[in-house]
Amino acid sequence: MSITRLNSLPMAEMTFKKVAFTWAIVVCEETSEVLLLNRQKAPWMGRWNGIGGKLDEGETPLQCIIREAEEETGLHIQEFHSKGIMRWIRDGNDLGGMYLFVAFVDRKIVEEYGAPKKFCNEGILDWKKLDWILHEENTGVVDNVKLMLNSFFSASDKALYVSKYDKSTLDSVAYYEDGELMDIYT
């Protein structure tokens, strides 16, 4: 059987299941901080992650992330920038994916937010320094998020990230722009 490859990505692995989720990080460039959620339940219980959730029927990805951001953080952010899509492949099976976004806020929002805090039943929110998130010894951040952030801020709205897992262990995150493999993070 021949497999079509997109710069080493076996397309047979991706069945293009519906992208049913949204995910975002909220960033303050002035303080180099990112608002993260320490999840209270699976998946990723006890790990720092971005915010987001499942698309409702008839909802666009942008509408979904605006709603999810307000529900999970209390922040009413209207301007999110698309950063493409993340796909998950576990043991060769396509598990679907999520639309990726970033929003930028100013220092005043960070100072007035009052984190750490628990705004909803999803977990605890806190502003974390970007260098803390990316630190090589930090095991408290969701694995693929930490790797994806290496290129996330420069990624276009056409970016594709493919997280490959061997059982529950992250093997790699491949980053594509316009179908071209840009990097593989391990």
pTM metric for this prediction: 0.89
| pLDDT at residue 43, as a whole number | 81
Query: Taking the alpha carbons of 39, 154, 130, 169 in that order, is the dihedral positive or negative?
Result: positive
pLDDT of residue 41: 85
- Cβ neighbours around 90 below 10 Å, total: 17
**Topology of domain 5-174, per CATH?**
Nucleoside Triphosphate Pyrophosphohydrolase (3.90.79)
Q: What local confidence, expressed as pLDDT, does residue 44 receive? A: 84
Q: What is the pLDDT of residues 116-146, one digit of tens each?
A: 999 988 999 999 999 999 999 999 999 999 9
Residue 14 banded pLDDT, cuts 50, 70, 90? low
Tens-digit pLDDT profile for residues 70-120 = 999 999 999 999 999 999 999 999 999 999 999 999 999 999 998 999 998
pLDDT of residue 15: 52
| CA dist list (Å): 158 to 12, 30, 49, 81, 175 | 21, 27, 22, 12, 11
Residue pLDDT, tens place only, 26-66: 999 999 999 999 999 888 889 999 999 999 999 999 999 99
* Mean pLDDT of the 173-180 span: 95
Alpha helices in the chain (DSSP H): 61-73, 107-113, 130-134, 143-152
Domain residue ranges in the chain: 5-174
